[in-house]
Amino acid sequence: SAVISQKPSRDICQRGTSLTIQCQVDSQVTMMFWYRQQPGQSLTLIATANQGSEATYESGFVIDKFPISRPNLTFSTLTVSNMSPEDSSIYLCSAGQGNYGYTFGSGTRLTVV
């Protein structure tokens, strides 16, 4: 299965600024997903990112707030824009191929102050 390198692992950011999270996969994958996980909660899907097409966002998440890039089959970024304290959370990416089990990054712990 694919191995994912996600960075940064954590960051403390000022409100009103933006943070870009990167996910690098060690093999070519069709599907990549971005999630948010708040303390003590399950994972909430933000968007699905397929190479060569626009990301598909879940209800409650918009492109202006969470722009996603997927320039090739091994890399994706998620930007958290114009941050507020409510954006403090763990952000995770996942990648995989077909019906196989997907791999997750180790997460980015974001604190907005």
CB of 101 to other proteins, least distance (A): 3
**Alpha carbon 75 to chain centroid, angstroms:** 11
Q: Select 14 or 52, whichever has its Cβ closest to other proteins.
A: 52
- Beta-sheet strands, E only, within 41-88: 43-50, 56-57, 68-72, 75-80
Q: Which of 45, 51, 67, 79 touches other proteins (CB under 8 A)?
A: 45
The pattern of x and - marking residues 51 through 90 that bind other proteins according to CB under 8 A reads ----------------------------------------
Classify 74 in phi/psi space as left (phi over 0), alpha (psi -120 to 50) or beta: alpha
What residues form DSSP beta bridges with 21? 78
- Binding residues vs other proteins (CB under 8 A): 1, 6, 31, 33, 35, 42-45, 48, 50, 92, 94, 98-107
